[in-house]
């Protein structure tokens, strides 16, 4: 995972959660029954789900980088 200077900045926790949820939804198709997602995709989605559980939430956190 890395910090990207193009990471979005939000004003409220709700905006962060909404963006996180949209990123999860955008990658859902990789986890349908006919797909075989890589370990990187599993790590990426776990990192997205864990954003609001970090010690520095909501003041500071790192958006995970989507696998290629």
Residues 35-55: tens digit of each pLDDT: 889 999 999 999 999 988 877
pLDDT tier, 3 (very low <50, low <70, confident <90, very high otherwise) = very low
> Is the pLDDT at 59 greater than 80, yes or no?
no
Q: Determine the distance from the C-alpha atom of residue 53 to the mean position of all C-alpha atoms in its chain, rounded to a whole number.
A: 12
Structure-model confidence comparison of residues 3 and 20, the more confident one: 20
- Dist CA 3 CA 7 (whole Å): 8
Give pTM, 2 decimals.
0.79
pLDDT tier, 2 (very low <50, low <70, confident <90, very high otherwise) = very low
What residue segments make up the domains of the chain, in order of their start?
1-68
Q: HSE of 35 in the Cβ direction (CA atoms, 13 Å)?
A: 11
* 35: three-class secondary structure by DSSP: coil
> Residue 1 has what pLDDT?
39
């Amino acid at each position: 995972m890395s910090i990207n200077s193009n990471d979005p900045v939000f004003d409220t926790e709700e905006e962060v959660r909404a963006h996180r949820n949209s990123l999860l939804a955008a990658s859902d198709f990789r986890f349908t029954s006919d797909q075989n997602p890589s370990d990187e995709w599993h790590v990426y989605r776990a990192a997205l789900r864990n954003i609001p559980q970090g010690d520095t939430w909501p003041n500071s956190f790192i958006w995970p980088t989507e696998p290629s």
